[in-house]
Amino acid sequence: MDRTLADEGTPNQRFELLMDVPLEVMVQLGRTRMTIHELLSLGPGSVVELDKVAGEPLDIIINDRLVARGEAVVVNDKFGVRITDIVSKAERIARLR
């Protein structure tokens, strides 16, 4: 008889199996569009204007899905992000459309 994951232990034990699955986490400052000509003209000191306003929350994206928003922080001379908001289920579903 074939056994499925659902047959393997309690829900907590099954959840533990997922704890080591690697995920890609990205924090997006903003976006912009530019032509190849504009891209090739960039150099040291160039400034690329993004679509977000300074102080606006940063998007936290896991496996290509927006899951939270946060703000930039500095921790031991490194950049980090403090989560300020978790995206609601309704908003996640709306973004799929």
Phi, psi of 14 (to 5 degrees): -65, -40
pLDDT tens digits, residue range 79-88? 999 999 999 8
Alpha-carbon span 17 to 9, nearest angstrom: 11
Between CA 40 and CA 25 the distance in angstroms is 28
Task: Please state the rounded mean pLDDT for residues 53-66.
Answer: 92
By the 10 Å C-beta count (0-12 exposed, 13-18 middle, 19+ buried), 60 is classed as buried
Which run of H or E residues covers position 62? strand 58-62
Please indicate, yes or no, whether the overall pTM of this predicted structure exceeds 0.85: no
Would you state the pLDDT for residue 6?
A: 53
Greater pLDDT, 49 or 2: 49
Quick check: 51 pLDDT over 80? yes
Residue 28, φ and ψ in degrees, nearest 5:
-105, 120
